[in-house]
Every structure is written in structure tokens, then in C-alpha cells.
């Protein structure tokens, strides 16, 4: 055994002993690691992931959860109740050509997936594993597990350009191999070769140790037609993120986007009436736009019933090598947003966000050294938040209110007196009902999206109300387990489901359809739902 391994073992022993006595906190942990590392004359202190590995091996794979919580790195990774795993598709051109702002693609200096530089964490994993989805997913699960995260519930995000424009066999292969990686993760020396049918792979995942709770596709609004949606549903897709970028057709034309606002409106309605969740990607600071036009675009997507996204990612426009935008910038024909201007803009946008929308990101993952001009600060969200606080404003988006994030920021915060809240709004010709369980200070514990659709084109959804999403927040709790101070598996999902059924009955519906992740179908079966195609359906 090496000196490093002996040191890790000693740290694990000391931490376990002191934890039982309630004497170990984060500061004490670092001191222990430094003292032991010095005693063994190590060049680096023991890594938490290696200490976790020893604890797991020495405690019959069931170490004290509190110790693992203490050692867990990047706790934010599973603080929202699921482990998010991104897999990158191989470089492939977009069907319309190339946007002015796009930094990547197979013909770019980066030879990367479209719209990526190849230097983002997910893109780097893609290159490292030859864009093999099985290898990417397994590697990411291993990383998360090693730093102390539960990985029982996995949300898969398929990234890398316009996935729905790729051959259908590639889409199916990519998703199937990703799910097989989850199925195989805890199997000793097992590596599926892909011979199982897609139906079999899904069935296995329904009871696997690592289950898929949802699949996200990123695509373009003009590549999201009825046939595309049918195919996505057959692959278990539960959420679609649309590259909207702006709502002004002239700006979209100037950047050679290849789609219009009308395409966005059409895709948004089709997706919602198919029970899918919808996310928008928006890009402030585009050529032809200005601060006033950008603010107007965000005001519109939050107030115009043709838009109203469930999820939102904001990517301030960046000048990156190899893009057509670089040429405009070098000629002095384009000036990107500065750090200060972008932070000010975000601080103006966040108070507008309705409580049923989740702001997921406010900037790209591109390394600052590869950005020629534009926002280079990595803490844009925090800067914007400080600006809002100085004005006495706050953001009520889902992410800012969810219980896991609140507990991270305020560990002593007490969440009690939970109540049910129902907010109704109209969107895309139908009615949306946002049911949420709230604690003090507007803390969000769980929510459900119930839609009374406009005009579904899928026969399975005839006469049905649609549950597009049910999510219980807080740190991820493994299936079939309960944690005393956790929030999942406490009956909150059942409460919301029963309320959605009651409201649907009151509105005259006799059938309800749930958009369920592959690995969550068993839960809905236990509540009287049966599978019909991509949906779990119940007569009420």
C-alpha cells in the first residue's frame, strides 16, 4: 500500500470516529487532511473521492450518509433531486448552414460539435471518449459517484447541435447506448454490446439501480415538427430545449439563424400539446440588437402566451475564434456586451421571470482564455443578484426558490407549514396549471405542471389532461430509501398527483396522461397508471 493510500485510510478512520462524536465539520476536515498528509510527506492532501472510496469499501458499501455528505464535493450537482449527465453527439453540420455567432462545427478550427468550441466540459468528455455515448455516460456517472453523489436518478441531456436533424438510426443508437450505460453501471465487468432491443433496454432501466428520470434534446424550432416529436417521444424524451435566441425576425435574419419567431410559436404549441416540457435558449447582445431590444424580447417571452417557457438558458453573445462574428468584430462592425452590461441586463431580466419558469444558466461554459471579446467573468449570476438586492428586488424563478438551493445558502433555515399553491395561466391555446408545495419564505419543495391542451395531434392524448412534469426538490434520495432530513419520498409527489387528478375531473376530463421518464414508470403504475406509447395514462 502506498503512502497516499495509507494516508487516505487514516483520514477515513479519523473522520468516521470524530463524526460519531459530532466533532467534525468542514473546517476540521481540511485540517485533518493537511495534518495526515504532512505526516506521510505527501505532495498533495488526500482527495475526498479517495476517502469516500475507502469508507465505502470498509463499511459494506453503506457508510454513514452524514459522513458522505461531509465529504461530498460540488454538492450542487444533485441538490435539485437528480444527477444531470450530459452526453455530446459527434460533430455534424446544422441543416440550414451556420449562424453568424456559431463558434464550432466540423468545419471550424475546433472540429467540434455544432455551436460548441470543444472546450466545454461536456465537449471535452465527448472528445475523450470518441463521442461514444456509452463511454461518456459511464465516465460521468463514475465521476459523480467518486465525489460522493447518489446517482440512482439520472437526467440525461443530449447535446451537440441539432440532434433531430440527424439520421433516425443515430438518434436511437445514441439514446439506447446512453441508457445501457446506466443499466450496466453497477454490473461487475459487464459492458453491453448494443444487441438488446430498445424495448428491452427500457424495461431493464425501469428497475435498474441507476434509472433515467428524463431525457432532454437540444434542437432548433424549425426542426421540431410533428414527425420529429413522434420520434423523440419514442426515444423517451421528456424535455426539448429550443434555440430561440431572439424574438425579432430581423435579428434572426441578420445572424443567419434560419428560423423565425413563427417557427418558435409553432414548435412550442406542438411540444406542449404532446405533454413535453419546453426550454428556451436566448442570446442577448446579438448583432443588430441593443439593450432595449433585448429587454423587450425577454418581456415578450415572459408575457406573450405564445411563448412562456418552462425553462430558460441565457447565453450572452461571445466573440470566439472561427466564427463569422469574429470577422465583424475585427472590422469594428460589432461590439459585444461587457461584463458590466451583461450583469446589469441579467439583473433586469431575473425579476421579470414568472414563478413557473426555471432559469438554468446565465452564460456559456467556454473557458475565458478562448473568448476574444464579450463576457469573461464566470460569476455573472452572483453579480446580477447583488445588483438586484441593492435595488430591493428578487428573482422568483424555480431555481432561486427550490428547497435544496435555499438550504445550501441558509443551512439553519427551517421549512415548515407547507401549503399547496395553484397558479393558472394561458399558453399556446391551452391552459397551464402550476401546482406547487411551498414552505416559508416562498421556498419551493415540489411542483407539478398540469396542462389542458389546445389541440393534441397524438391519438393517445385524445380527451386527456396532461401532466407535463412532476418534480420533488431537495438532495437526491435513492429509490426505495427515506432520509429523515430529506424531502423526496415523503408523499409530496402523491399529494400533487391527487390534486391534479381532482382538478382534471372538475374540468370535465375523464383521462389523465403523464409524461414520465423511463425509470419512473413504476411509480406511476403503483398509482394506477398504465403505459400507452410514451405516456402513463389513467382513467379518472
Distance of CA 353 to the CA centre of its chain: 18
Where would I find the H helices in 193-338? Answer: 198-205, 226-234, 249-254, 261-272, 291-303, 324-330
CA–CA distance, 28 with 31 (Å, rounded to integer): 5
21 is in an annotated binding site: no
Please check whether residue 318 is in contact with residue 277, taking contact to mean a CB–CB distance below 8 angstroms.
no
- Residue 328: all three cell numbers together: 465583424
- Residue 465: all three cell numbers together: 389532461
Please report the pLDDT score of residue 154 as a whole number: 98
Which helix (H) or strand (E) segment holds residue 213: the answer is strand 211-219
Q: Find, among 357, 354, 347, 361, the residue nearest to 392 by Cα.
A: 347
CA–CA distance, 175 with 157 (Å, rounded to integer): 10
Q: Picking from 19-23, 39-43, 146-150, 523-527, which range would have the lowest pLDDT averaged per residue?
A: 19-23
Please report the pLDDT score of residue 513 as a whole number: 99
For the cut 90, the answer to whether the pLDDT of residue 348 exceeds it is yes
What is the chain's length? 540
Q: Is the dihedral angle over the CA atoms 91, 226, 435, 520 positive or is it negative?
A: negative
Statement: the pTM of the whole predicted model exceeds 0.75: yes
Per the prediction, the chain carries an average pLDDT of 91
Q: Evaluate whether the domain defined by 404-539 bears CATH number 3.40.630.30.
A: yes
Please check whether residue 203 is in contact with residue 521, taking contact to mean a CB–CB distance below 8 angstroms.
no
**pLDDT tier, 61 (very low <50, low <70, confident <90, very high otherwise):** very low
CA–CA distance, 499 with 493 (Å, rounded to integer): 10
Non-local (6+) Cβ contacts of 396 within 8 A are 353, 354, 355, 442
Tens-place pLDDT, residues 63-72: 555 666 666 6
Give the residue carrying C-alpha cell 440532434: 163
Tens-place pLDDT, residues 474-495: 988 888 888 777 889 999 999 9
Helix (H, G, I), strand (E, B) or coil at 373: strand
Work out whether strand 319-320 and strand 371-373 pair parallel, antiparallel, or are unpaired. Answer: antiparallel
CA–CA distance, 369 with 355 (Å, rounded to integer): 36
**pLDDT tier, 27 (very low <50, low <70, confident <90, very high otherwise):** very low
For the segment 103-115, the average pLDDT, to the nearest whole number, is: 82
395 is in an annotated binding site: no
Please report the pLDDT score of residue 21 as a whole number: 67
Work out whether strand 444-452 and strand 464-472 pair parallel, antiparallel, or are unpaired. Answer: antiparallel
102 is in an annotated binding site: yes
Please report the pLDDT score of residue 57 as a whole number: 65
**Max CA distance (Å), the chain:** 73
Residue 211: phi and psi, rounded to 5, are -110, 150
Q: Picking from 6-20, 90-104, 140-154, 274-288, which range would have the lowest pLDDT averaged per residue?
A: 6-20
Phi and psi based region of residue 236 (left: phi greater than 0; alpha: psi -120 to 50; beta: remaining) = left
Tens-place pLDDT, residues 174-222: 999 999 999 999 986 667 778 899 999 999 999 999 999 999 999 999 9
Tens-place pLDDT, residues 385-416: 999 999 999 999 999 999 989 888 887 777 88
For the cut 70, the answer to whether the pLDDT of residue 518 exceeds it is yes
> How many DSSP H helices and E strands does the chain contain?
19, 16
Tens-place pLDDT, residues 242-261: 999 999 999 999 999 999 99
Could you tell me the residue ranges of all domains in the chain?
A: 3-71, 74-237, 404-539
Tens-place pLDDT, residues 79-104: 888 999 999 999 999 989 899 999 87
For the cut 70, the answer to whether the pLDDT of residue 39 exceeds it is yes
Amino acid at each position: 500500500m502506498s503512502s497516499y493510500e495509507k494516508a487516505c485510510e487514516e483520514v477515513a478512520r479519523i473522520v468516521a470516529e470524530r463524526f460519531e462524536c459530532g466533532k467534525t465539520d468542514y473546517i476540521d476536515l481540511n485540517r485533518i487532511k493537511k495534518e495526515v498528509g504532512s505526516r506521510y510527506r505527501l505532495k498533495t492532501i488526500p482527495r475526498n473521492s479517495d476517502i469516500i472510496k475507502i469508507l465505502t469499501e470498509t463499511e459494506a458499501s453503506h457508510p454513514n450518509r452524514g459522513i458522505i455528505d461531509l465529504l461530498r464535493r460540488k454538492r450542487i450537482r444533485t441538490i435539485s433531486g437528480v444527477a444531470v449527465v450530459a452526453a455530446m453527439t459527434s460533430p455534424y453540420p446544422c441543416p440550414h448552414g451556420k449562424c453568424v455567432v456559431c463558434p464550432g462545427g466540423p468545419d471550424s478550427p475546433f472540429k467540434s460539435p455544432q455551436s460548441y468550441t470543444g472546450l466545454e466540459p461536456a465537449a471535452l468528455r465527448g472528445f475523450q471518449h470518441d463521442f461514444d455515448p456509452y463511454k461518456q455516460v459511464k465516465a460521468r456517472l463514475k465521476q459523480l459517484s467518486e465525489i460522493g453523489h447518489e446517482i440512482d436518478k439520472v437526467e440525461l441531456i443530449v447535446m451537440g447541435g441539432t440532434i433531430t436533424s440527424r439520421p433516425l438510426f443515430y438518434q436511437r443508437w445514441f439514446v439506447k447506448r446512453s441508457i445501457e450505460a446506466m443499466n450496466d453501471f453497477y454490473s461487475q465487468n459487464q459492458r453491453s454490446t448494443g444487441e438488446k432491443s430498445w424495448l428491452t433496454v427500457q424495461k431493464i432501466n425501469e428497475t435498474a439501480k441507476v434509472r433515467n428520470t428524463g431525457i432532454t434534446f437540444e434542437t432548433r424550432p424549425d426542426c421540431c415538427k410533428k414527425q420529429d416529436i413522434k420520434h423523440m417521444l419514442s426515444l423517451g424524451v421528456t424535455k426539448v430545449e429550443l434555440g430561440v435566441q431572439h424574438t425579432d425576425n430581423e435579428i434572426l435574419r441578420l445572424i443567419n439563424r434560419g428560423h423565425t419567431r413563427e417557427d418558435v410559436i409553432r414548435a412550442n404549441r406542438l411540444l406542449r400539446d404532446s405533454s413535453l416540457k419546453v426550454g428556451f435558449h436566448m442570446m442577448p447582445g446579438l448583432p443588430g440588437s441593443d439593450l432595449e431590444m433585448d429587454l423587450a424580447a425577454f418581456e415578450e417571452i415572459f408575457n406573450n402566451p405564445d411563448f412562456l417557457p418552462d425553462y430558460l438558458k441565457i447565453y450572452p453573445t461571445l466573440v470566439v475564434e472561427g466564427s463569422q462574428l469574429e470577422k465583424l468584430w475585427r472590422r469594428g462592425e460589432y461590439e459585444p456586451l461587457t461584463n458590466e452590461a451583461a450583469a446589469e441586463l441579467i439583473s433586469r431580466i431575473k425579476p421579470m421571470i414568472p414563478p413557473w419558469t426555471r432559469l438554468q444558466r446565465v452564460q456559456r461554459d467556454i473557458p475565458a482564455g478562448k473568448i476574444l471579446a464579450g463576457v469573461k467573468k464566470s460569476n455573472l449570476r452572483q453579480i446580477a443578484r447583488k445588483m438586484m438586492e441593492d435595488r430591493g428586488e428578487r428573482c422568483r424563478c424555480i431555481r432561486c426558490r427550490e428547497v435544496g438551493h435555499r438550504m445550501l445558502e441558509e443551512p439553519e433555515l427551517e421549512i415548515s407549514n407547507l401549503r399547496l399553491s395553484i397558479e393558472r395561466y394561458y399558453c399556446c391555446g391551452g391552459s397551464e396549471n402550476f401546482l406547487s408545495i411551498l414552505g416559508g419564505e416562498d421556498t419551493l419543495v415540489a411542483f407539478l405542471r398540469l396542462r389542458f391542451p389546445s389541440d393534441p395531434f397524438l391519438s393517445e392524448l385524445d380527451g386527456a389532461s396532461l401532466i407535463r412534469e412532476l418534480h420533488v426538490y431537495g438532495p437526491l434520495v435513492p429509490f426505495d430509501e427515506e432520509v429523515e432530513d430529506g424531502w423526496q419520498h415523503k408523499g409530496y409527489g402523491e399529494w400533487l398527483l391527487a390534486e391534479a387528478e381532482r382538478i382534471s375531473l372538475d374540468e370535465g376530463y375523464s383521462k389523465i396522461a403523464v409524461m414520465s421518464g423511463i425509470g419512473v414508470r413504476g411509480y406511476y403504475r403503483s398509482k394506477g397508471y398504465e403505459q400507452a406509447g410514451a405516456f402513463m395514462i389513467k382513467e379518472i
